[in-house]
Amino acid sequence: MTRFTSHWEKVYIENSALETSWYEESPAVSLELLELTGMNADTSVIDVGAGRSSLPATLVGRGVGDVSALDISAEALRQLDDANGRVARVVADVTEWRPARTFDRWHDRAVLHFLHSEQTLAYRDTLLNALNPRGSLVIGVFADTGPESCSGLPVTRYSETDLVTWLGEPFDIVTTRRHTHHTPWSSAQDFVWVVARRRDPVVFQ
Ligand SMILES: C[S@@+](CC[C@H](N)C(=O)[O-])C[C@H]1O[C@@H](n2cnc3c(N)ncnc32)[C@H](O)[C@@H]1O
């Protein structure tokens, strides 16, 4: 168990949902941006760092047939609404995870910004291993005007350009979005979101 695992286990054991800054009553921005990518009953979605978000169960409720939730904290996933077993739960560190299958959609709200330097490269490797060709991603992180730490951990803040540059060559950007999240105690947190589509692999003949 790494110190990050024990940090997050403790967070979910000791704090109710309303005691965590990232709590939102409805995952409205995530849903809106995922809808932009076009989803149907056959679409597979992984929510990376899902915590105990209502997003996975909401997607199941909207008819998405193949929904997975990954988190470093087993306790978070124990508390997650798994829609009566229809959300597959994966306990793993995204920077070390070797996915046994691939997905059509990758969603991350408020996870990437906890990673720094080479950890972000490891995250990107996992993303590229997990996402199907022509699959899409929706990632939301603290903006350059957002908080400098969260849950007692330092974060990396991003502008739209930072995020797009980090994603790099194999993606076409569909859109970026700024959104201010209000914590349960009414603090404002600026997020920047990106929606991108993975390009077809180039075939050399
Ligand atoms: C700020 S919370 C966001 C939770 C959820 N995405 C949401 O919007 O409610 C960050 C989540 O990322 C998870 N996490 C942090 N580092 C991780 C890592 N390296 N791999 C997988 N999950 C991680 C934490 O356990 C936590 O659930």
Residue 98 lies in a domain: yes
Report pLDDT digits (tens) over 148-187. 999 999 999 999 999 999 999 899 999 999 999 999 999 9
Atom 26 of ligand 1, nearest CA residue: 51
Q: How confident is the model at residue 1 (pLDDT cuts 50, 70, 90)?
A: low
Residue 204 lies in a domain: no
pLDDT of residue 53: 98
Question: Does 2 score more than 90 pLDDT?
Answer: no
Atom of ligand 1 nearest to the CA of 30: 8
Strand pairing class (188-198; 131-142): antiparallel
Rounded Cα distance between 205 and 39, Å, is: 33
Report pLDDT digits (tens) over 3-58. 889 999 999 999 999 999 999 999 999 999 999 999 999 999 999 999 999 999 99
Three-point CA angle 34, 35, 36, nearest 5°: 90
Residue 203 lies in a domain: no
Three-point CA angle 199, 204, 205, nearest 5°: 140
139 within ligand 1 shell (Cβ under 6 A): no
Tally of structural domains, the chain: 1
How far, in Å, from the CA of 169 to the mean position of ligand 1? 26
Residue 205 lies in a domain: no
112 within ligand 1 shell (Cβ under 6 A): no
127 within ligand 1 shell (Cβ under 6 A): no
pLDDT of residue 31: 98
Report pLDDT digits (tens) over 66-82. 999 999 999 999 999 99
How far, in Å, from the CA of 203 to the mean position of ligand 1? 36
114 within ligand 1 shell (Cβ under 6 A): yes
Residue 16 lies in a domain: yes
pLDDT of residue 169: 87
pLDDT of residue 25: 95
Residue 63 lies in a domain: yes
Residue 174 lies in a domain: yes
In order, the DSSP letters of 51-99 are: TT-SHHHHHHHTT-SEEEEEES-HHHHHHS--TTTTEEEEE--TTT---
Residue 188 lies in a domain: yes
- Tokens read off for 151: 């849950």
Q: What is the CATH number of the domain that holds 35?
A: 3.40.50.150
pLDDT of residue 202: 66
Report pLDDT digits (tens) over 121-156. 999 999 999 999 999 999 999 999 999 999 999 999
Q: Which domain holds residue 154?
A: 3-198
